[in-house]
Structure formats: structure tokens, C-alpha cells
Amino acid sequence: MTSTDATHQTPGPEIAADSAESFILHWVQKRRLMLCLALAVVTIALYSPVTRAPFLNYDDQICVSENAQVRAGLNWNTVAWAFHTPKDLDWHPLTWLSYGLDTQVFGLGPSGYHTTNLLLHAANVVLLFLILQSATGFVWRSLAVTALFALHPINVESVAWISERKNVLSMFFFLIALAAYGWYARRPGVGRYLTVTLAFVLALMSKAQVITFPFALLLLDYWPLRRIQSSPGSAEAVGDAATHPSPTFSFLKLVAEKLPWFALSTASAVITMRTGTAFSYIAETGANESRFPLWIRLANAAMGYVKYLEKTFWPADLAPLYPHPGFATSISAALVSALVLITITILVVIWRQHRVLFVGWFWFLGILLPMSGVITIGPHFMADRYLYIPQLGIFLIVCWGVADLMERWPVPVAAYATTAALIALVLGVALYRQVSFWSDNATLWEHTVAVTDGNFTAEENLAMALISTGRAKEALPHLQRAHVLQPADPLATLNLATYEQMLGNYKAAIEGYAAVVQFPGTSPSLLATALANSGYAHLSLHRYDSAQQEFEAALHEQPVNAAAYRGLGLLAQRAGNVTLAAKDYKRSVELQPTPVGYLLLAYALELGGERDASRAAQIQAARIDPDLNDDLATVRQLLAN
């Protein structure tokens, strides 16, 4: 192990041995704020276009744009709801509360939510630099790791996707917990331990991805904190005693120290598997640990790890969703991937005296494990967002490894500096390009379809994005392709029926919706959508009794279906019962605040003589969409049925 691998908490012989770095360290300590500011400014500048992006038509509706609790802003009802979310929503109360705060501060448009995501990522960049520099004593190595994290295109998904607020927010508290642990390790005490615990709890309440936190701390105990006791009399033990006078402990004692944190991780894992995304996927598709045999899940996990490594070093063809190959998994590719991982792991263990290598590799393997696919939690094979924290291990290996080569090989520093600048420039350009794909839904899903194969979800979302922008004819091939990819999927049939309804082919649409209802195991939310849409098709054909039955059936499947309440309001208003119509419209906008819903409510209230309430509803509509021309046209069309 070279001297540069050691921890530099205070000036000592090892820092003195590297006079150049000692001088740089002394210089940077006086100007740390400037480096932090530079990192933040560059990060914000390159990511700034995301603040002009719309809501993504995948998950953002559930999390924000059509979430009545979030759209109501930050109030006591929102707080209570955040801690008692429905079973089909992720339990991450702190993330839900952050959305509510955004609504309160920035309003209902997407810009505010994007801005908060960006600021959190910039804060993570700065925190990472400060933690690394403080723990290791190395400035430029820490800066290099941080720059890779700040500029790597694979992180765009976590920042540009509003629904991934949980990713950037959980890492924010994860980093605070790491900083607190370094503080605790220097002088253990109850108060400091509780501080670490509080930060960890806040991270878990943002997203359960940080359940590997106690494992990460054991790695940090090995390096750079060096709290793990070496074998007595070994050369390493002698070296540690000379350069690291802080107390060391046995491995078992350090594990015991973290038992409460392991308990918190276990509790969080149980909650995650019983609620939210994992639960919804299991409930809607029949997925469970036996959905795919263990060998398929292990094979895909192995291939996923290698694919993550590939995208770390060559971040091309990035997409928000990579389809799971399922039973089409390549056995040969899985075996090769497993062999690569096993070989690297054996070499890392053999060379474990290189502590950065050991910690970096097992950081990557261990922190990524819960998202590796060993347990099926969604329709995807892998996800860029899962690499947000694990990638730091690879960056550590690369940056510390290059620094060691600089010491051993007589290559001019200017050559390394030029190479580093070129890498930063290339990453910056790639990052900016990746950000551009998130400028609108159609662009993102067109890119996703282009860089992935057989992507059912991308085809569906691209079709919906094209339809929403008035490009319905372009959407049809994608709807048809999605149906070919998964003919037994009720969503594909639902979207084709929706397309027919948009073209005015109401009878064909009704037949399609009826087919969706007949699919076995269709989720209540999908059934409710099909029934509500069918109700509107019947309404257009002036089959009012049938429309009433469909809307009521939709509410039976999903009592919180806003579209069904809106349909019942239209029927009540047509029958002359404006009081009941206003009641149904009000319930609709409480569940899903839309301009059309508020305009219908305003009209019913006006007919009922409640002019002040009508004016307030109009103001709410304008608040959501200042340009109400299209919404007014939709309202006129609905009322004409």
C-alpha cells in the first residue's frame, strides 16, 4: 500500500512525504468555499434545462401532477396522508412532504419540482466533496470523484425525473448521516450516535434504497476511518499505530455497534416489500419471488452488474426503462457476467491491502444489491437511477488508482491535468445532451424506443405523448407495436380503445373497454379507467343510462376515480340537478385538480347562483393552466353531449 492510500486527518509524515499535495491542501483549505461554489455552479448550469421540462407521463401523474394531496400544498392533511399513504403508493413520507412544500412555494407547474430536484443534486455534489476531502485529506482526488458524480450522464434520470425526488433526497440525508458518522467515529458518544441515527431515519423516510447504510459504514471503518483492528504484530497494525492513533475495535464489536441501524434497515425493507411500487407490481401482475425462477433473477442480476459497469465507463444509450428479458434471458451472457464479477471480486480480496480498491468494489456490489433484481420489484431489468449512490465506489477506485499511477510513473502533471480536463469536457457535453432528451415526453420516449428493444412501456408512453400533443396518427403504429409485444396486457388494449374513442369510433372503443374488463387479474385502477372511459363513450352516443352504470361501476372498482365523478356530474347537470352536479365536480377536483374539472364546477356553481364560489373555481383553473382555450373547448364538448 502506498502512502497516498492512508487517511490524513491531521498533518503527519505521510502528508509531509507528498510536499506538492501538502501545499495544495493548505491552499485549498483556505479556498474550500470557492471549490464548492464552482462545483455547484457547473452542476446547476449544465442541468438548468430540466427546469423547463414538463411532467413526465410516467409516474409523475401518480406522484405529483394528479395527486390531490400533493397538489393541495403543505398542510396538516398532507402531513397525515404522507405518513399513512395508500398501500399502492411508496411509503416515503419525507419525499411526499417535499412535494407538498414545492406546491406551497412554487405553485402547480412542473418548474418548481424540477428546481428542487436540481438543487438537491447540487447539494449532494457539494456534500460529497466535503465528506471525501475531510475523511481522506486528499483534495484533488476528492474533487475528481465529485466531478465524475456531478457530470456523469447516468445521473440525469435522478435529477430530471420529478418522481425520482426520492433518489436525490435520500442521498442528501445519506450523506449527512455519513458526515455525522465520521464525527461520531472521532469521539463516540450517545449524542453523536443519535445524530447519525436521526439522519439515517430521514434518509429511509425519503427512499428505502439506503437500507445498506450500516454495511457502508463497515466499509468506511476499514477505509478511510480505519476503525477495524488489525492483527497484532502485523506490518499493517504497526503502520496503523504509527499514523492513526485513534482507537480501533474488533470487527464484531463494530457490527454490534450498528445493530440498531441494521434493525432500522430491516424494518424499512419489510415496509417497502409490503407497500408501494413493489406491492403494486406484485398485485397487478402476480409477480413475486417465484414470478421468475431464482436462476433467471440471479442471471439478470449478474448481467445487470456488468451492464452498470459498462454504462459507468461508457454512458451511451441511456433510457428511463430497460425491459426485463424474462425467460428470454441469455444463459451464456449470464455465465460470462458472473465469471467477470467473481474474477474481479477474487482479485480485490487478494489485493485487499489496497483498501480503496476493496472498499470501492464492495461499495458498488453491496449498495447496489437490493436493486440488482434478485428480488423482482418491477418490469425493468435495470435502472440508471439505481446507480446514483453505488457508482461512487467505482469512481473512488478510478481516481485513487490514477493518483497512485501518477506517483509511480514519471508522467508530467500537465499531461494528467489535460487528460482530466478533456474527460470533464466530454462528460459535460454528454450530460448536456442527455438532459436534452428530457425536454418533453415525446422526445424522451422516442429516444428510449430507439436505444432499447421490445420496450412495451416506452411504446405505450410515446403513443400517449404523441396523442397529447395532437399527433394521433403518429401514435397508432406505437400502440399497435405495444399490442404485438404484449397482446395479453390489458393496458395495450385499453390504449387502443382510447385511440378509437379519440377518433370518434365510440362503438369500437366500447368493445375495447369491455375486453379490458374481461382480462383476468386486471388491477382495480386499470378496470376503473376502462369503465370510466366507456362511460364517456356511452355519453357521446347519448346512452345516458349505460353511461351512469359505467361511471358507478368505475367508482365501485376505485372509489377515488376523479373521471367517474366528473362523468356523474355531467349526467346530473344534464338532468337539471346542478346541486348534485356541483357536488360531483367538487369531489372530482379534490381527487384530481384539473382545469376542465374546475371549469365544470364553476359553471355548475354559476347556474346554482353561487357566483363567488364559481369565481374561485375559475381562478383555480387559471392557476393550473393560464391558457384555458383548449380546456374551455373540452368543457363545451362535454356539455354538448
Q: What is the pLDDT of residues 591-634, one digit of tens each?
A: 888 899 999 999 999 999 999 999 999 998 888 778 888 889 98
The CA distances from residue 467 to 52, 133, 442, in Å, are 21, 50, 10
Task: State yes or no: pLDDT of 175 exceeds 90.
Answer: yes
Task: State yes or no: pLDDT of 312 exceeds 60.
Answer: yes
Q: How confident is the model at residue 326 (pLDDT cuts 50, 70, 90)?
A: confident
pLDDT value for 285? 41
When pLDDT is averaged across residues 328-342 and rounded to a whole number, the result is 95
Q: Could you report the per-residue pLDDT of 242-251, keeping only the tens digit for each?
A: 344 457 899 9
Provide the mean pLDDT of the chain: 88
When pLDDT is averaged across residues 306-322 and rounded to a whole number, the result is 96
pLDDT value for 24? 54
When pLDDT is averaged across residues 23-41 and rounded to a whole number, the result is 78
Q: DSSP readout, 35-50?
A: HHHHHHHHHHHHHGGG
Task: State yes or no: pLDDT of 284 exceeds 50.
Answer: no
pLDDT value for 7? 39
When pLDDT is averaged across residues 67-94 and rounded to a whole number, the result is 87
Q: Which residue has the higher pLDDT, 199 or 402?
A: 199
For the chain, what percent of residues have pLDDT higher than 90?
A: 68
Task: State yes or no: pLDDT of 240 exceeds 50.
Answer: no
Quick one: CA dihedral 153, 157, 162, 166, positive or negative?
Answer: negative
**CATH 1.25.40.10 region(s) of the chain?**
448-640
When pLDDT is averaged across residues 305-313 and rounded to a whole number, the result is 96
pLDDT value for 21? 55
Task: State yes or no: pLDDT of 289 exceeds 50.
Answer: no
Q: DSSP readout, 260-311?
A: HHHHHHHHHHHHHHHSHHHHHHHHHH--STTTS-HHHHHHHHHHHHHHHHHH
Task: State yes or no: pLDDT of 497 exceeds 70.
Answer: yes
Q: Are 574 and 539 in contact (CB under 8 A)?
A: no
pLDDT value for 317? 95
Q: Could you report the per-residue pLDDT of 503-562, keeping only the tens digit for each?
A: 899 999 999 999 999 988 888 889 999 999 999 999 999 999 999 999 999 999 999 899
CATH number attached to the domain at 448-640: 1.25.40.10
For the ranges 25-39, 112-126, 240-254, 283-297, the lowest mean pLDDT is seen at 283-297
- What phi and psi, each to the nearest 5 degrees, are found at residue 529? -65, -45
Q: Which set of grid coordinates corresponds to residue 44?
A: 446547476
Q: Are 385 and 309 in contact (CB under 8 A)?
A: no
Task: State yes or no: pLDDT of 11 exceeds 60.
Answer: no
Task: State yes or no: pLDDT of 290 exceeds 80.
Answer: no
Task: State yes or no: pLDDT of 17 exceeds 80.
Answer: no
Q: Are 535 and 550 in contact (CB under 8 A)?
A: yes
Q: How many CA atoms lie within 13 A of 322 on its CB side?
A: 19
What's the DSSP call for residue 11?
Answer: -
For the ranges 179-188, 388-397, 522-531, the lowest mean pLDDT is seen at 522-531
Residue of 135, 121, 134 lying closest to 170 (CA atoms): 121
Task: State yes or no: pLDDT of 20 exceeds 50.
Answer: yes
Q: What is the C-alpha to C-alpha distance for residues 114 and 119, in angstroms, rounded to an integer? A: 9
Q: What is the C-alpha to C-alpha distance for residues 18 and 134, in angstroms, rounded to an integer? A: 17
When pLDDT is averaged across residues 178-188 and rounded to a whole number, the result is 95
Helices (H), ranges, 137-244: 139-151, 156-160, 165-186, 190-204, 213-222, 235-243
For the chain, what percent of residues have pLDDT higher than 70?
A: 90
pLDDT value for 229? 77
Q: What is the C-alpha to C-alpha distance for residues 363 and 383, in angstroms, rounded to an integer? A: 18
Task: State yes or no: pLDDT of 279 exceeds 70.
Answer: no
The number of helices, as runs of H, and strands, as runs of E, in the chain is 34, 2
Task: State yes or no: pLDDT of 192 exceeds 60.
Answer: yes
Q: How confident is the model at residue 283 (pLDDT cuts 50, 70, 90)?
A: very low
Residue of 112, 140, 147, 141 lying closest to 126 (CA atoms): 147
* 73 φ/ψ sector (left φ>0, alpha ψ -120 to 50, else beta): left
Pairing of strands 322-323, 380-382: antiparallel
Q: Could you report the per-residue pLDDT of 193-220, keeping only the tens digit for each?
A: 999 999 999 999 999 999 999 999 999 9
Task: State yes or no: pLDDT of 238 exceeds 80.
Answer: no
Q: How confident is the model at residue 46 (pLDDT cuts 50, 70, 90)?
A: very high
Q: How many CA atoms lie within 13 A of 318 on its CB side?
A: 28
pLDDT value for 27? 61
Q: Which residue has the cell 349505460?
A: 546
Q: Which residue has the cell 375559475?
A: 618
Task: State yes or no: pLDDT of 97 exceeds 60.
Answer: yes
- What is the length of the chain? 641
The rounded Cα 299 to chain-centroid distance in angstroms is 24
For the ranges 15-19, 150-154, 324-328, the lowest mean pLDDT is seen at 15-19
